Amino acid sequence: MRTLIRNAQCTLPDGTRQTDVLIENSSILDVAASTATQADEVIDAAGLTLLPGVIDDQVHFRDPGLTHKEDLHTGSLACAKGGVTTFLEMPNTNPATISRAALIDKLKLAAGKCVVNYGFYMGATPDNIGELQQQDRTPGIKIFIGSSTGNLLVDEQAALERIFAETTLPICAHCEDEATVRANSEQLGGGHSYADHSRIRDHRAAVIATQRAVDLALRHAHRFHVLHVSTADELPILTDHGGLLTAEACPHHLLFNIEDYDKLGSLVQMNPSIKTAVDNAALWRALTDGRIQVIATDHAPHTLEEKQRPYPQSPSGLPAVENSLALMLNAVHQDRCTLEQVVRWMCDAPARVWDIVNKGRIAPGYDADLVLVDLRRRHTIRNRDQVTKCGWSPWDGVALTGLPVRTWVMGQTVFVDGKLDSAIRGQEAQFDHARGGYWATECRS
């Protein structure tokens, strides 16, 4: 099967230009102005822009165990609608992904119900080092250095030292310092308002844990990715990377701050907490100057009923995978960044950080994971339109310019004309860790 996408503006590794893209089965065969090419299907994409599919390296899809909030099918449909063609999912499911057997079970589950491509992290516990040493078929190891949803936590120094010393897979971590969070919580009597969440999980908690994790990574010369950086204060820690460190920011930490609790309450209660407008601006600058390389969502669905509980019973987390690309296209429309930067942060960099084979670029030989976007299309995010099982978005009512209109996963159209094809199946992403990560591969400036 050959599909020819004609006349789109294509974001290619060497710049954006109008060209044709020829897909053969699941791969990109050619990128060239090739009007005479024979194809089974020809799509005229004039006026639209073709991007590599987004790779979201941090989502929580709740399957197995918490499937009243989301499952691998609904989470993957939300991806397809949002232009996300590959997701990497976190281990805090029930059971948690802390053994080879649990990883294989999740991969099997995903093969049966995911409409986009998938990969699953191995979760660290204080005593599962043997499991962490054996793993292939995974992007890497996730450590909750601070606790969040679920009960995965490793905050004892000896256990952390062992994980960094005795494993080779890349490591990423949720960095909020447990002791600081506990002390702040006690001081505030457990917290009484949603806004207290940012006082309990404060700047200090983030900085202490990020510094601690980065020290471990540098001492053990271990590749390390700092998940969801939320403060300006962590940024100086990220500059001395020595080729080992990468970092990411999430749309909610770029776009929301503590002023939003008044209107949105627990809908913006997240771990790490949202911070201040000063932090928003600093995170944007860090993306622009390359101290942060990746944008990922930390898509963390909970039902509205759960979210409406009083603080601190309200769970932390918000859904975003369905809207992250549109939010960033809107940022392009507002001149906050360029389209090429968005592609770099959301498509190219995650593929390099996690050594994902043949993804993240529009180039011959790469997988045909693609998203066609209309940069001029105006639309409003509405709870009623959300396909995530939790059925809401913290951006409900927000008007944006720029929308994904068609998504291909391994050459198959999974989303077009506002409709999802739930029969499509994605594939297990392949990780080639011998590549050595983001800094070991050429990266475009």
**Which spans of this chain sit near ligand DOR (rule: CB under 6 A)?**
60, 92, 148-149, 174, 270-271, 298, 300, 316-317
CB of 130 to ligand DOR, least distance (A): 25
For 213, the enclosing helix (H) or strand (E) is helix 203-219
Q: Exactly one of 202, 298, 355, 367 is catalytic; which is it?
A: 298
In angstroms, give the least distance from the CB of 164 to ligand DOR.
20
Select 250 or 371, whichever has its Cβ closest to ligand DOR.
250
Closest approach of Cβ 60 to ligand DOR, in Å? 4
Q: Which of 81/174 has CB closer to ligand DOR? A: 174
The amino acid present at 153, given as its one-letter code, is L
Give least dist CB 120 to ligand DOR, A.
14
Cβ-proximal residues to 419 (8 Å cutoff; 6+ apart), any chain: none
Tokens 């994409």 sit at which residue? 45
Q: Quote the least distance from Cβ 91 to ligand DOR, whole Å.
A: 10
By beta-carbon proximity to ligand DOR, the closer residue of 148 and 231 is: 148
Residue (167 or 316) nearer to ligand DOR, CB? 316
Q: Which residue has the tokens 């449909």?
A: 77
- Candidates 342, 322, 350, 341; CA nearest to 83 is 322
Instruction: Report CA 210 to chain centroid distance, whole Å.
Output: 19
52 or 301: whose CB is closer to ligand DOR?
Answer: 301
416: region left, alpha or beta (phi > 0 left; psi from -120 to 50 alpha): beta
CA distance 8 to 50: 6
* CB burial string 334-367: b at 16+ within 10 A, e below: eebbebbbbbbbbbbbbbbbbbbebbbbbeeebb
Residue 298 bears catalytic tag: yes
Nearer to ligand DOR, 8 or 173 (CB): 173
HEC string of 104-133 equals HHHHHHHHHHCCCEEEECEECCCCCHHHHH
Query: Nearest approach, Cβ of 343 to ligand DOR (angstroms)?
Result: 25
The structure tokens 């053990």 sit at 220
3-state secondary structure of 99: coil
Phi, psi of 307 (to 5 degrees): -65, -30
Q: Which residues are catalytic, by number?
A: 298
